[in-house]
Amino acid sequence: MLSAPTAAPWAPPPAAGDLSPTARRTLTAAVLAAHVAGAWALLQVDAVRAAVAQAAPLMVDLIAPAPEVLPPPPPPPPAPRPVERKPRPIVTAAPKPAPEPPVFVAPPLPAEPPAPEPVVAEVAPPAPPAPPPPSPPPQPKTIPATAVQYLEPPAPVYPLASRRFGEAGRVVLRVLIDEQGRPAELRLQASSGHRRLDESALAALRAARFRPYTENGVAQRVWALVPINFELES
């Protein structure tokens, strides 16, 4: 038969001096963690949290903060010393003798040419004044019909159409008789009212010849009024 195992005798916990430094630090951290966890668990209760808030003392810091100490400014840099410059020695050269100025010899002046003989300008005589323009010839005067004389009297032709249509009337022509007795210009002074009769009278007077009109034996151009009648025979 097997016998039941016997319990081992109880051994006391090792003393703190017997722990190693690592075990000692671990034990201390465990104890602090247990205290912190217990305190946090108590603070979770509302009644405990209120009691702790009332019993907590009011801490006032009456110590003034220490003044800020500024670092001293850096010392100014030393002023540069003036550099003494020694004057350069002045080297004077020996004076050179001034060159003699060149001698300028003026060339001889050319002989003056003989003075030209004065030219006598011939002054043309003034042109004679222009003759006055010829006076316009006098306008021919008008003579009466009784003063007109014919070498070949006008012979008007009665147009057949005028006879057929019974056209009749008196034509007065103004004629300019030149110095040779020819009609130089003809004008219709008064119409008969029929173009065929007027044209027949102009053609008849254009073919006529006049005796030149004279005054003191001198032939002159004159105007004259010449009437020509066209009458139908009954």
pLDDT for residue 49: 66
For the stretch 152-164, pLDDT in tens is 999 999 999 999 9
Is residue 193 a part of any domain in this protein?
Answer: yes
Is residue 124 a part of any domain in this protein?
Answer: no
Q: How many domains does the chain have?
A: 2
Whether residue 5 has pLDDT greater than 50: no
Compute CA 162 distance to the chain's CA centroid, rounded to the nearest angstrom.
Answer: 79
pLDDT for residue 146: 87
Q: What is the CATH number of the domain that holds 219?
A: 3.30.2420.10
Most confident of 66-80, 89-103, 132-146, 186-200: 186-200
C-beta of residue 226 within 8 angstroms of C-beta of residue 210: no
Q: Which of 53, 70, 96 is the last residue of a domain?
A: 53
Is residue 6 a part of any domain in this protein?
Answer: no
C-beta of residue 17 within 8 angstroms of C-beta of residue 23: no
C-beta of residue 215 within 8 angstroms of C-beta of residue 156: no
Is residue 179 a part of any domain in this protein?
Answer: yes
Please give the residue range of the domain that contains residue 49.
20-53
pLDDT band at 47 (very low <50, low <70, confident <90, very high): low
pLDDT for residue 2: 42
Q: How far apart are CA 228 and CA 154, in angstroms?
A: 9
pLDDT for residue 206: 94
pLDDT for residue 186: 94
Is residue 4 a part of any domain in this protein?
Answer: no
